Amino acid sequence: MHFDPALAAQEAFYSAEAELGVGWETAIELENTFSSNAGRTAREAYEGLLALAQQYPNAHSFQAFCIYITWQQVTEETIAHHFETGMKLCEAYLASREAKEPRHIEQIAELHESFRAGLGLVEEDDIQVEFRRDTPKGGD
């Protein structure tokens, strides 16, 4: 990756204050719990942050924050569910035509490819296709 998702998450989070309005206090509480805990407590706070994001679909910085912390979840607990969640969040973010930070768009597009790769959904380039075609198959 060409950026640090943890630093990007922190920046996006603090940019989200104006977007969240009355939800900002809840976001702070959940983020503090998420950042300072592990295991079940952190997972519950993470899910709370995702639920809050659904209440504010036009809070683009907060949506970006949730994508970045989903990558953190992937690194903490490498399971398909986190890759799928990240991929869906990225697709929703990138599909929206509203004005967003160009830096977030680039970084989220990169994360989208990483989430896809984690699920084995990467497209093969010409060299990979040729190698697969030339590789002998089993059997006589």
In a domain, 140, yes or no: no
Q: What is the pLDDT confidence band of residue 130, given thresholds at 50, 70 and 90?
A: low
In a domain, 139, yes or no: no
In 3D, which of 34, 101, 107 has the Cα closest to residue 67?
Answer: 107
Mean pLDDT of the residues in the chain = 89
Q: Tell me the residue range of the domain where 65 lies.
A: 5-134
∠90-93-97 over CA atoms, to 5°?
145
In a domain, 111, yes or no: yes
For the packed helices 80-95 and 60-76, what is the interaxial angle rounded to 10 degrees?
160
In a domain, 23, yes or no: yes
How many domains in the chain? 1
Residue 64 near residue 101 (C-beta atoms within 8 A): yes
Name the pTM for this structure: 0.84
pLDDT score of 97: 74
